[in-house]
Amino acid sequence: MTGRTRQAARLLAGGTLGLAVVAGGALHPGRAADRIPVADVFEITIPTDGGEGVAHYEGAIHGAYRTPDATVLYWSIRAAEDSGAPLRTVFEHEDVDLVGGVLADPRTLDVLLPLRDDARCLCTEAGDLDPSQDPHTFQVMYTSFPAVPAGTTAIDVDVDGRGTIVAGVPVSDILPTGPQVERASVVMGQGWPAAPTTEQVGQVGARDPLDLVGRSGAGDGSVTTEGTGADRLVRFDADVLFAFDRSDLSAEAQAVLDDAIAEIEAAGELGRLEVVGHTDGQGTADYNQRLSVARAQTVADSLREALGEDLEVTVEGRGWDEPIATNDTEEGRAQNRRVTISYETASGTEGDR
């Protein structure tokens, strides 16, 4: 999604619940009868063809809606015009968990998980997609979560399981205008996937929520830890590790990394460790790609030195392709400059750090 598209869509959203229509496959202002709620927009970029290519997807979060027994989140997605991959690719990509959790109560930091069990999910899955539909047309999906607390008026949505968050999605007591369609995906403008019935919710037990550990490391929030147990993510703001435009560690960086190394060591024998670098949207794509790789390599070298030279470490740079905040402000750009570490213990327990 281009910066102009993102900016226009956010103007439609107005920071809360905006209105838009579909025309020519894109979001535009329109007549009241045709309007579709848009809370915010997002984009997802994934590697394809063994890393030789990339696929771009554009999406929108429409809103969250209370039913008697659940919370239904409506969202839409399409393949970008410059992307040749089908929608099914992003659903099935191993690094992507589409709309996999919502933070409903910042006081408890509980992340609600979709209503699913071994047999079914009350949500849109890859098998629900209609292969005859144009992948460049927005298709509306749904994901059902346990009922949010009565006093909750907005939720934060984890869009892709990789740190892309849409914050402040309004929660409504009234389902959106338009027909409820007995399909799990619907072309935008033709209705909404039907909300689950009381019987369907009763057949799929709610899973225990995840607890966000919150902020750790630097007191200013430059190191963020989320999750509990083996399912954790620690995100380092690049500014605490590196000086501007540099890929060598800053004076403060080693102390921050030492804390992460201690926690990784406490997790037990490691089977895999991956370091990924990210940049903001300034400069050129090629330069940012090289910088993200160089920074990830520097962190990986530091971890290998501490944890053992025989440790298998995978290094990847994703440049500016996976922003978690706007690049229109310095605060947002600072959030996008980051390095993440993921690992798997020898016993197969996986976590993200």
Which range is least confidently modeled, 44-48, 73-77, 175-179, 339-343?
Answer: 339-343
The rounded distance, in Å, linking the Cα atoms of 291 and 241 is 13
Going by C-beta distance under 8 Å and a sequence separation of 6 or more, which residues neighbour residue 151? none
Mean pLDDT of all residues belonging to the chain: 78
Q: Collapsing DSSP states into helix, strand and coil, what is residue 235? A: strand
**Does pLDDT of 62 surpass 90?**
yes
d(CA 204, CA 122): 8
How far the first Cα of the chain sits from its last, in Å, is 28
pLDDT digits (tens, 9 = 90+) for 66-120: 999 999 999 999 999 888 889 999 999 888 889 988 887 666 667 889 999 888 8
Q: How far is CA 322 from CA 44, 124, 130, 198, in A?
A: 7, 23, 27, 37
More confident residue, 259 or 218: 259
Tell me the C-alpha distance between 81 and 55, whole Å.
Answer: 10
Instruction: Report the distance separating Cα 331 and Cα 335, nearest Å.
Output: 7
Helix (H) / strand (E) element for 312: namely: none
Q: Is 344 exposed, middle or buried (0-12, 13-18, 19+ CB in 10 A)?
A: middle
The span from the CA of 314 to the CA of 299, in Å, is: 11
Residue 6's pLDDT band, with cuts at 50, 70 and 90, is very low
The three-point CA angle 73-76-77 to 5° equals 140
Look up tokens 């980051």; give the residue: 338
Model pLDDT for residues 225-281, shown as the tens digit of each residue: 554 444 445 567 777 787 777 888 877 777 778 877 877 777 666 666 788 898 988
Asked whether the predicted pLDDT for residue 350 surpasses 70, the reply is no
121-161 pLDDT, tens digit per residue, is 999 999 999 889 999 999 999 999 999 988 888 888 989 88
Return the higher-pLDDT residue of 31 and 40. Answer: 40
pLDDT reported for residue 254 = 77
**Residues linked to residue 202 through DSSP beta bridges, in sequence order:** none
Q: How far is Cα 75 from Cα 160, in angstroms, rounded to an integer?
A: 12
Give the CA dihedral 265, 267, 324, 85, nearest 10 degrees.
Answer: 110
Q: What is the CA radius of gyration of the chain?
A: 21
pLDDT tens-digit readout, 46-58: 888 776 788 999 9
